[in-house]
Amino acid sequence: MMRSRFSGMIAIVAGLAMITPACPQDQNPSPTQNQPAQSSTFTLKVNSDLVLTNVVVRDKKTGQVVKGLTEKDFTVTEDGKPQHIASFDFENVDEAAALNEATINASAPNGVFGAKTGTATQEELRNHRLIVMFFDITSMQPDDLDRAQDAARNYVNKQMHPADLVAVVSLDATLSLDQDFTASKDLLLKAVNSYSGTQGAGYGLGATSTSNQVEDASSFTPDESEYNDINTDRELFAIEDISKSLGYLNEKKSLLYFSGGIQRDGIENQASLHAAVNASVRANVAIYSVDARGLQAISPLGDATTGNLRGANSFNGAALQNNLDSNFNTQEVMATLSSDTGGKAFFDSNDFSPAFDRIQHDTSAYYVIGYHSTDLRRDGRYRRLSIKIDRGDVKLEYRPGYYAPADYQHATKDERERQLEEELASDLPATDMAVYMQALYFRTGDNRFFVPISLVVPGSQIPFVKGGDRDKATIDIIGQVRDTNGRDIGDVRDTIKLAVDQSQQVRQKNVQYTTGFSLPVGKYHVKFVVRENETGRMGSFETDLTVPDLKKVPLRMSSVVLASQRMPASKKQQDSPLVRDGEQLVPNLPHVFRQDQHMYLLYEVYDPAHATGAKAVDAAAPGATAPAPKPDKNAPPPVRVMTSIEFLSGSAKAFETPLVQATQLNEPTRDAVAFQFDVPLDSLKPGTYICQINIIDDAGGTFTFPRTAVLIRPAPSAAPAPAASGAGGK
């Protein structure tokens, strides 16, 4: 997989006045914005985070649920501060009404799971238990999966109550909803039986290591922590996705999580773990973790999956202690998920039926209390709940607390990075900031192209902070190029620190970032996400990109670069075709210029035909001809490519540069003739023009006339116009 990428460059450019449409003959992909059109409609955003918690009130003597209480009987405090109860409900499975199975079955496109407009209404789901059986196949060995399936079948056949609505979800190569909520035992058994033991971690993706033994220094143990981190993130992301899909239902949901253990390396995966817990708490999902490995006998020598142990560790207890620590670590995340969401973890037992009993016990009858926190800070901190009633003969069961929502300023570094990655993977565009993009192409070798990509963000949308005599800001950029099969071909991750003079009036200009990829001929999908790091607002741009096969066109040429600015190029950027004489052109995305600026044009012609049979003319004897001098055998035959630039206003020619002729290759490594033009614009009147590039390969008898629209705006002050200049290969 090719991941070649050229170093990025940042520039402050003129204000983005408009986006001009490309003419049909334009060879430059014109930038377009994939944001919704702005309208004058006023939108009011209201933040109304409702904290939901379930409370089971039991009689201390009998253990029976106490019914008939009202919201006036409860006192709720958060971190010691009283809260006003905004919503109150009592769920009782004894009062569950029969549910129309036609509304939630395996083939229903609008079932309960994640379908806010589903035919199963909130009232129909009232007083039912909502249980999700989640099989984490990536973490389980075949024997573990068999035990989990046996437990699920036993529950469906023997323990399932009429009020139970059960869904089945699995994580293997992807997260899959194998059965939406249903009371049909046949449908549930069909989903549970569909898993094969060969899908376990020993055969599939991302096996979790559970036997990281300590050996003598003479022995080598591969470090699998990075693989475990990746696998743990996938599992935690899956739990988060499941919870978000159920967030629109106020009823308590129980997630029965069958796993072969989750390995966490220190503080790694902390952001993913918090995100999973937060999503579950907000969706009122309690996680009941079940270690599918069952009762384990920890041997100091390890199990059959480990190699022979060398040294004295098997005799001094170090190996046994390490195996015990490793087993504990794989259960620690599962225990955290359960305790922080109000569920319970079940470890070291071959009988999984108590997990189902506990779910039914906890959800048979309970009160659902909701309130809007008086603490409006979005700091992401843990807040402790206290719920009391004025009776001494009862005991209360409820979640002890929750993590508050976190805004961007209070997010950790890992959480901020995860936000970018989630936005990059999202199917929906981020529209808080406007982002414009342009992609060009230059041939660098046989069937290989350099594709420079430029992003523009209006400076008015970046909140610069004053720092002395400078305005400062930081933006994060993440991007990805995928082929038609969805494979990652190249990626970008940059953090750009901006520090500009206040006199530059950057708020009236734009911030432009340019990078590039080395790609073969083909079709690709490109997506970039830009975030400013003061408020965390993000914008995205994605588009399909085609790198053309120039072998199929008569005259082969690159994109035409139009620029109004040049910047010194770094050493890393010297290989870029945009760099000429130590300076890199900054592409002008909207093709909007001012009269006091210069328009710099750059393009290349590849594989020009060589002139043959030409005769030289003796200027001293009019009408006479003379044989051409003998050619140098070591010199390549001459080429003859002619080009000029025209500006058309309507059907009239407003300006044309002198004709430039190239008679030899000036980029021999790419078999190309590169042309540059420096066109002062102060002789042109303000207005819209068609910029036409005339290219004729006289020796080959081919030609092309690509066009693009440009806008020239008035200059602050007029100045004499120097002559336009053009050159081939400077």
Say if residue 65's pLDDT is above 80: yes
pLDDT tens-digit profile of 392-435?
899 998 888 887 877 777 777 888 888 898 889 887 788 888 88
**Span 223-228, mean pLDDT?**
42
- Whether 577 and 442 have beta carbons less than 8 Å apart is answered as yes
Beta-carbon count within 10 A of 258 CB:
26
Span 619-629, average pLDDT:
37
Instruction: Round to whole Å and give the CA distance between 251 and 254.
Output: 10
Of 83, 75, 198, the residue nearest 140 (C-alpha)? 198
pLDDT of 47 above 60: no
Asked, colleague to colleague, whether 5-34+429-728 and 50-403 share their fold, the answer is no
CATH of 5-34+429-728, picked from 2.60.40.1470, 3.30.70.260, 2.40.420.20, 2.60.90.10, is 2.60.40.1470
Residue 505 DSSP symbol: -
Q: What is the pLDDT of residues 682-708, one digit of tens each?
A: 999 999 999 999 999 998 889 999 999
DSSP string, 378-429: -B--EEEEEEEES-SSEEEE---EEEPPB-GGG--HHHHHHHHHHHHH-SSP
CA distance 115 to 163: 21
The pLDDT assigned to 505 comes to 62
Q: Beta 470-483 vs 488-501: how paired, if at all?
A: antiparallel
- Whether the pLDDT of residue 483 is over 60: the answer is yes
Distance between CA atoms of residues 280 and 273, nearest Å: 11
pLDDT, tens only, 507-565: 667 888 989 899 999 999 999 999 998 888 899 998 899 999 998 888 999 999 999 99
What's the rounded Cα separation, in Å, for the pair 551 and 169?
Answer: 50
**Three-class SS state of 635:** coil
The mean pLDDT of 260-275, rounded to a whole number, is 71
Confidence grade of residue 277 (pLDDT, cut at 50, 70, 90): confident
Q: Are 373 and 50 in contact (CB under 8 A)?
A: no
- For residue 3, the SS3 value is coil
Does the pLDDT of residue 300 top 60, yes or no?
Answer: no
pTM of the predicted protein model: 0.57
As a whole number, the mean pLDDT across the chain is 77
d(CA 528, CA 455): 8
pLDDT of residue 349: 87
Q: Work out the pLDDT band at 365, boundaries 50, 70, 90.
A: confident
Q: Does domain 50-403 have CATH number 3.40.50.410?
A: yes
Q: What is the mean pLDDT of residues 244-252?
A: 83
- Residue 35, judged by CB atoms within 10 A of its CB (0-12, 13-18, 19+), counts as middle
Distance, first Cα to last Cα, the chain:
34
Q: CA-based angle 136:141:146, to the nearest 5?
A: 80
Structural domain boundaries in the chain: 5-34+429-728, 50-403
Long-range residue pairs from 665-668, CB within 8 A, at least 24 positions apart, any chain? 665/608, 665/636, 665/639, 666/728, 666/729, 667/604, 667/729, 668/636
